[in-house]
Every structure is written in structure tokens, then in C-alpha cells.
Structure 1
Amino acid sequence: MDNWERRRLLGMLALAAVVPTRVAAAEAGEVLVISTLYSRHRQVPAYDLAALRRLIDAVKPDVLVLDVTPTELRTRKVWPGKVEYTEVIFPYLDAKGLVAYGSEPDEDLFKELTTAGGESYQAFKAQNPAGAKALDALKQSAYQALASRWQSAADVNSDKTDRLVAALREIEEGLVGGNAGPVQQQWDRHHALRLSDAVKAHPGRRVLMLVGMESRYRVLQALQQGGDVRPVESEAWLRRAGL
């Protein structure tokens, strides 16, 4: 290699070091199912609200499927704990003018399910107050432990996180009993069905579902069982994107 070629190679390496890597959007027709943390976004520096915004910007969705009811989507009013909607998702949606769907049950079914589930939790607390207190402590400790290890959005959306969440849900639903398990399962199937509807209505478009962390693993299971929608593997996609 002569001096001119050596200088040219060194110049190219120097340029590569200072030019930032572009994060490509998801490909046309890809479907991503991504967890959100509600108010925990404010307690997890690795996946705070700014990180969520960077994630959505990187995906560049054509269609959004959101963890809200149709009425909440229309009015832009949500349960106060869903801080990511008022601070990130709704502003993004309005700025981009994207098509969006609410994946939670509409008002009648919402009331039916929340009433049935709420009655089971009230009965559990009344009949087993020590168990209810221990369950709350277990969940808080588990999520604090997870958050202490999360270094990125990819960690939050990892198979490891999903497995732990699934185990916690199994313990919780088994302890509470009654309608707790069936209601949550029906709720998560509803998320999956609305995502399938959105994908079918927009063939070839890039669809991003944002759903609470405790629901994501069951949504993915339902989609796998249905077979008509195949989301990309989120953890690997996010790691490739540097997120």
C-alpha cells in the first residue's frame, strides 16, 4: 500500500468515526409489539419517556395500535398513570397525523371486564390480607430488580423480561383466583385481535403496537397461535437499532 492509499484509508476511517450511524426504520409490512411502562417510565432512566420517543422515531410507523380505549384515543384523555400517552404518544400521533387504533375494549366490555376483575381482587384482599400484602411486596421487588438491570429499551422488550412477567402474572392470578386470570387473558386477546384487524386493514404498512409490559407476552402468544400476524423479534430489532 503506497502513501496515497494509506492516507485515503485513514481519512475514510476518520470520517466513519465522526459520522453517526443512521437507524433504519422498520421495513414496509413489518409489525412490532413494544412494551410501555406507564408511570415507571419516570423511574427507569434506560427507558424513560425520551427513550420511548427515540424508539418510535426509529420505527417510523405508518399505523399505531395503542393500549387505550377507542374513546380515550378520540378524546386524548387516559388514566393518569399512562404518562407516556399524554407526554409522548398522543403528541407524536397528532404531529404526524397517523392512523391509530385503540386496542383496549370499548366502554361496555371495558366496564364488564374491569368490574369482574375488580370484584375478584377485592375478595382476595378481604379473605387473604396477608397474601395480598405479600403479593404487592413481591411485585414491587421484582420490578425494582428488573429496572436495576435494564440498560436499554431492548432489555425491557427482551424474552428474559417477558418470562419473568409471565411468571409473576401466573403467581398473581393463581393467588387472586376468581375472574382475575380469565379477565386478563380476555383483555390481552382483545389487544391481539385489534392488532390483527389493523394489520389486515393496512396491508404492507409498518405497524407499531405499544402495549403495557404485563400484557405484551400474552399478546405475542395470541398472535403466534392465530398465525396471521408475525411480529418481528423486538429485542433483536432494537439492539440492531442501538436502542
Structure 2
Amino acid sequence: MKYTFLPVVFILGSLFLAQVLPEETPVNNKSEVFVLATLYRRHNSTPVYNLDTLKRIISAIDPQVFVLDVNPKELKEQKVYPSKIEYPGVIFPLVNEMQRPAYAAEPPEPVFTEIVQAVIKAHKEFDSTRADASRSLQQYTGSLFNVLKIVWQTPADVNGQRTDKALAGKRALEDQLIGPVDIDGDRRWTQNIVNVTLQAANAHPGKRILVLIGIENCHGVRAALRAQNGIQLVDMEQWLRRQ
């Protein structure tokens, strides 16, 4: 009997702890990192993920730190490109109301302009030298998002693995067609987001960090953060399904 008592006690204790601990518990004072997609203007045409829904999700997460899809100048001035309707509509008002630290995930100048201009130039060259392929890619992108809007029945679907895989496939096709400048720009952009997120985690250990990123970059950011041992990446899809 003495050989089985301790294992039984251990198992019962483990079961008890599993019941009383919250579903997402920070491990070893690691920051919990939530990567939540934003849709820019597509929020207006996506009822299941409109601005009111985005606001409710952010409020439910109750982040202690924000990492935003803006550059440092935009964060300071709280002015963004007109397409990013979620920022004046939801995100900046919440940041101001909640009075939480906010980090700019996009590169500072001059790196921001360097990457953006190089990618724009590569896309323009692709449009002019391979016009048929460019039109096909644009049609594919439009059709893909039309299909995704049909598939998206809940916010969890928007932030789910199927969406990430679909948009990762789109990115792979773009990289192959447009070439190394596009690949390098995406790599540097994603790495900057990861670096800023880790900087925020180091400055605020054990805190809930919300990374708000345009949906087409979410798959790359989630994959890169998943490989980081210093944080606890929350499964956004599963977290949303539990709400």
C-alpha cells in the first residue's frame, strides 16, 4: 500500500489544481501574449467582426499592455492611414481610457519608409512587367476574402487556424510572384513586431499583452512568437471560443 499512496495523492492533487486554476495561467511570471487580428476597412463589411465586436473582445482581454499596428509617429500623434478605421474608432479611445502602456509595433523612421518604399516599388514593377499575373493575384485576393467572410461565423473563426493557413498560402504565392524584396520586407516587418512584443514583455513581466495586428500578418507573427520561450502565447482561437 505504501508504494501506491504517494502517486494517488499526487494525481488527486493535480486534478484539484487543474480545477481551481484559471484556463490561462501565466507560467513562471511569463507575460501572456494575445495576438488579435484587425481588418481595417473590412470591419465595416464583416458583421461578425465589426468595430463593436472588436471593442468587446479587447475589453474582455483587459490588456495591461498594448502593442499596436502603427509606427512610433502614428502612436504619438494618434493619427493613422484612413484605411485603419479601428484605430480612431476603437483602439486609440480604449488605450486612452484604460491608461495602459502602448508600444508601436511597426518600425521607426527611416526603416519604416525604407521597407515600405522598397515593397511598393517591387509591387509596381510586378504590376507593369507581369500585368496578367498581377490582375490574377488581385482577383484571387478579392475572392479569398469573399470566401473567408462566408466561413467567418464567429470572431474565433477570424482568428483561427484555417484563416491563418489561408492567408499564409496567399503570402507564399505573393512572395513567389513578386520576389525577394517582398519576402525581405515581410521578414523584417514581422521581426520588428516580435522584437517590440518581447521588449514589452521584458518591461512588464507577468502582464497581459495584447498585440493588435492586421489580419494578413497574424499568421507570421503568431508563428514567430510561438517559438519564443520567454512568453506565454495564448491560443487566440480557443480563447475566443470559450467566451
* Identity %, equivalent residues: 36
Kindly tell me: are residues 239 and 42 of structure 1, through their superposed partners in 2, closer, same or farther at Cα, counting changes over 3 Å?
Answer: same
Task: Normalising by structure 2, report the TM-score.
Answer: 0.86
Cα separation, 2, equivalents of 1:25 and 1:41? 29
> 3-state SS of the aligned residue for 1:226?
coil
CA contact (8 A) 1:25 1:58 kept: no
Aligned to 2:132: 130
1:73-222 equivalences in 2 (<5 Å): 73-222=75-224
Cα separation, 1, equivalents of 2:93 and 2:24? 21
Q: Which runs of 5+ in 1 are unaligned?
A: 1-23
> Of 219, 236, 239, which residue of structure 2 is paired with 1:237?
239
Task: Normalising by structure 1, report the TM-score.
Answer: 0.86
Aligned residues: 218
CA RMSD of aligned residues (A): 1.5
Aligned to 1:12: none
Cα separation, 1, equivalents of 2:229 and 2:185? 23
Paired amino acid for 2:136: A
CA contact (8 A) 2:67 2:197 kept: yes
Q: Which runs of 5+ in 2 are unaligned?
A: 1-21
Cα separation, 2, equivalents of 1:69 and 1:187? 11
Q: Cα offset for 1:224?
A: 2.7
Moved more, 184-193 or 54-63: 184-193
Q: Cα offset for 1:69?
A: 0.4
CA contact (8 A) 2:32 2:231 kept: no
CA contact (8 A) 1:189 1:218 kept: no
Cα separation, 1, equivalents of 2:48 and 2:23? 21
Kindly tell me: are residues 86 and 27 of structure 1, through their superposed partners in 2, closer, same or farther at Cα, counting changes over 3 Å?
Answer: farther
